Amino acid sequence: MTSKKSKKSKVPKVNGIRMDINAPRVTGTPELVAICIPENKPGNAAPVELCVHITNNTSSSFPLMIYGGLIPELMTPDGQVTRPLEPINRQFGTQEHHWSLIRSGETIGMTLKAKLSWRNNSLQLEVPTNPDYYWEPPITPENSWTFDALSFGTYQLRFVYDNPSREIISSNPKTSPLTELVAIATDRLATSFINLRLVQSTECNKSAVEVNSIRFETLVPEQVLSLPKKEPGTKVSVQLAGIRITNNTPHPLCFSFYTTLIPEIVGVDGQILQRGYFSDWSRVAEDSDFVVVIPGKDVTLFPEATLWWQENDQLLLVNDAGDGGAYTFKLTDNGTYKIQINYVNKTGFSKIYEQETRNWKQIENIWMGMVTTPFVEFHLSIV
C-alpha cells in the first residue's frame, strides 16, 4: 500500500546529497590511480577496489537503495562516455537489507570490489552491483556491470545513482514513511570522475610496472612456503611478499609506508580472496615510516606476515597493515596462490611525534598515488 504524502515533511534538495568516489582506506582519491593489467591467460584477474561515500547535508533522511543503485560510467581515452552492459539479473529489490536510510548530517561508505579480467581475448572491467559487505559470490555477468574491449591508457570513472521510482520506495516498510523523498529522482546524483590508468608490466620484468618514471615491483623471495603443522594455535612467521620502489625520475622523492601497503591475493581456484582487517591497538606515524629515495636508487619493504592455524583446520594469513592492525586472508591447506602488494597514498604531508623532543613534526612533499603491482605466484605445501 502506498503511503500518503505528508504536507509537513520536507523534501531534500539534490545539492544537499553529496557523492564521492574514493580509494580504499583513504579519505578522497589520489590524483593518480594506476591498475596493472593482468596477463592474457585464462583465469587471470586483477582487483580494482573503489569506495563511494554518500553524505546527506539535508534536513531529512535519505532512502538509499543499496542493490543496483550505483551505476558506473567510463570515459574512454578519446573522450567518449560509455555506460556498461547491465547485469543479467538486474532488478530493484524491496527487501529491507537492500536499503539504507542516511540520516541528516550522516555519511555512509560502500566498498565495491571490481576486477579486470580477460574473456575471449577482450579486457573487461566488471563492477559488482552490491557493496562487499552485502555481496560475497564471485563477480559474474549476472551480478555486475561490465565494460568490454578495454586497453592500456587513461580512462575516467564515476558512479551515478539510479533513483528508484516512488512505487519501489513506498513498497518497502522501512522507507514507506519517506515516500515524498522520491522527488529527488528528477535530478541526477553522481560522483566526480577519477583518472583510472591501465598499465602493463615492464618488458624486462613482469613483476613490475613503471608509472611516471617510478617503478613498483612485487617481491616474493620464497615461492614455495612450507605450512606449519595442522594444530590449532600453531603459528609461523614468513617473509611472504614485499614491494620495491625505484626512483627513475631526476628528483628525490619521499614515500610513505604508514598504512600505504595493501595486499591482494588470488586463491587456488582463481578467485580474489576476501580481505579482512582487525586491530586491537593503533600507532601514530613515525619518522622511519617515511623514506626519501634519490634518483636511480630504490627502497624495499617487507610487511611482517604470519601463517596461523585456527580451529576447524582453517589457515589464516595475517599481514601487517602498518598502523598496529593487520590484514587477514583465509587460505586452503595447500596449492598455488598469487599475491600483489599495492601502494596507496593520498596525503602529501603527515604529522609525526618525535619521542626525543616530545614535539610534533610535519613531513611534506610525500609522493601521492595509487598503484597496483603485478601478481606473483607462491605455493603453499604441507610439511
Side-chain-side CA neighbours of 174 within 13 Å: the count stands at: 15
CB 299 within 8 A of CB 214: no
In a domain, 130, yes or no: yes
> Quick one: 353 exposed, middle or buried, by C-beta within 10 A (0-12, 13-18, 19+)?
middle
Helical (H) or strand (E) element with 247:
strand 242-247
User: Are residue 246 and residue 134 in the same domain, yes or no?
Assistant: no
- The tally of domains found in the chain comes to 2
Domain contains 173: yes
Place of cell 601487517: 320
Same domain, residue pair 276 and 330: yes
Q: pLDDT at position 218, please?
A: 97
172, part of any domain: yes
pLDDT for 248 equals 97
Q: Quick one: 184 and 267 in the same domain?
A: no
Question: Given 199, 230, 259, which residue is the final one in a domain?
Answer: 199
Task: Specify if 339 maps to a domain.
Answer: yes
pLDDT at 187 (0 to 100): 57
Q: Round to whole Å and give the CA distance between 68 and 93.
A: 9
Q: Do 62 and 195 have their domain in common?
A: yes
Q: Where are the alpha helices (DSSP H) in 177-282?
A: none
Q: Compute mean pLDDT per 10 residues along the chain, 383 residues long, and list them.
A: 37 64 53 87 82 85 78 93 81 52 85 87 89 61 87 92 60 50 55 90 93 96 84 86 97 95 90 87 88 97 92 88 93 88 89 81 91 94 74
Q: What is the rounded CA–CA span in Å between residue 137 and residue 276?
A: 16
Structural domain ending residue among the three candidates 144, 177, 199: 199
Q: What is the pLDDT of residue 271?
A: 83
DSSP class per residue in 73-120? EEE-TTS-EEPPBPPTT-----SGGGEEEE-TT-EEEEEEEEEEEEET
Q: Any idea which residue has 594469513 for its cell?
A: 317
Same domain, 124 and 269: no
CATH assignment at residue 67: 2.60.40.3880
Q: How far is CA 200 from CA 65, 145, 214, in A?
A: 36, 23, 14
What is the domain extent for residue 30? Answer: 14-199
Residues 6+ apart with CB under 8 A from 208: 201, 202, 215, 216, 217, 218, 244, 373, 374
pLDDT score of 189: 83
pLDDT at 182: 44
Q: Looking at the DSSP assignment, which residues form a beta bridge with residue 272?
A: 266
What is residue 136's predicted lDDT score, i.e. its pLDDT? 53
- Statement to judge: residues 124 and 262 lie in one domain: no
pLDDT value at residue 131: 77
